Amino acid sequence: MQGGDEVKILYDYEKLLDMVYERLPKRVGGRAYDIPSLEVDYVGDHTVVKNFGFACERIRREPRIVMRFLLKELAMPGSLNPDNSLVIYKRVSAKSIQSLYTRFLESYVRCSTCGSYDTELVREGKVWFIRCLACGAITYVKPV
């Protein structure tokens, strides 16, 4: 191989590399996936999480699964309204609900490989796992 051929190969490699980088999606500054915090309100002795349906939609989880986790951890009764707001039949502090929600995010939403929250919860038989939509990793979790 002559010196001129080697330079041409390097040039072609650089050109190909530039073409690959041009085709990659552009990175947006900040967090790529914003997780909303829960908006807690009180109606009498009941606690209402107003944006529960929206939060569940953003984290790609069924509201019933998230509700089951929160109510089980709180050991309190509750239900979903038709507008997907969560009603807990006791008074619970917003800080308690938010900390449980954060624990749910860490256990059942966040990818343990890359740290992305862009995941989906999949159930096959009795086995539950998180499939990361960013890196493709699969992490098995205990049933909700």
Per-residue DSSP letter, 134: T
Q: Kindly state the percentage of the chain with pLDDT values over 70.
A: 86
Could you tell me the pTM of the whole model? Answer: 0.74
Helix (H) or strand (E) holding 119: strand 119-124
CA angle (111 as vertex; 110, 117 as ends), nearest 5: 45
Quick check: helix, strand or coil at residue 144?
Answer: coil
On whether the CB atoms of residues 134 and 111 are closer than 8 A, the answer is yes
Confidence of residue 136 (pLDDT cuts 50, 70, 90): confident
Tokens of 23: 């085709």
- Report the C-alpha gap between 69 and 126 in whole angstroms: 17
Position 7 scores a pLDDT of 54
- Report the C-alpha gap between 144 and 66 in whole angstroms: 8
- Report the C-alpha gap between 26 and 18 in whole angstroms: 14
CA angle (60 as vertex; 69, 40 as ends), nearest 5: 55
How does pLDDT run across 20-65, given as a tens digit for each residue?
888 876 654 444 468 889 999 999 999 999 999 999 999 999 999 9
